[in-house]
Amino acid sequence: MKTIQILRTLINLLFYTLIAIFALGFAFGVILLFFPEILPSPYNAYTMLFSSFFTWKMYLMPSIAIINYVLLILAIFFLKKSVSSFLKSDFYSERVTKNLQKGGSLFIFIGVSTITIQFFSAIYIQNIANDMIGGQYNFLIRWSNILAAAIDLKSIIAIIIGLFFLLFSKIFENSRVLKQENDLTI
């Protein structure tokens, strides 16, 4: 039981820290967008993000990162709900399996969407670099650079964590069914 309490404490700490960081980032974005004159001088350079210099493609990666961050908070929330059921020794409830399944699916989505967006961003940046130097890259070198930029360890770990949560969800679901059958036979 002590392990579950430690896990619960760490998940709660992570959850509330993620929310606090998101709130600070959101407040900074609002200030940057609507009240840039109150920012200290080192932060005034960030106001150029909202100029017409950047195209919509430049905002795609940060937008997806923000969406993935919110989805990460939601996935941690589902895990938080599952751990609270574990503290009550309610391992076989349908709520636990659904929360683990939702959390796992979100982790997989975060990993796959990050790899996908990084892949297209790397292609976009490679095209810009190719246009700037006016030459042609070797095909193999170009695509190996794109793949190296797109596939990162944290995305792979997010997918693996999501698959583990889906596996645990299935295990708990099968255990719940076996427990119900066992309860009926006794």
Structure tokens at 160: 């693996």
Residue 135 confidence (pLDDT): 64
**pLDDT (tens digit per residue) in 99-149:** 999 999 999 999 999 998 888 888 887 777 777 776 666 767 777 777 887
Q: Mean pLDDT of all residues in the chain?
A: 84
Residues in Cβ contact with 151 at an 8 Å cutoff, skipping those fewer than 6 apart = 115, 118
- Answer for the pair 121, 147: CB distance below 8 angstroms, yes or no: no
The rounded distance, in Å, linking the Cα atoms of 25 and 5 is 30
Task: Tell me the pTM.
Answer: 0.79
Mind listing the pLDDT tens digit for each residue in 56-68? 666 777 888 899 9
For the chain, which residues make up each domain, given as ranges?
52-185
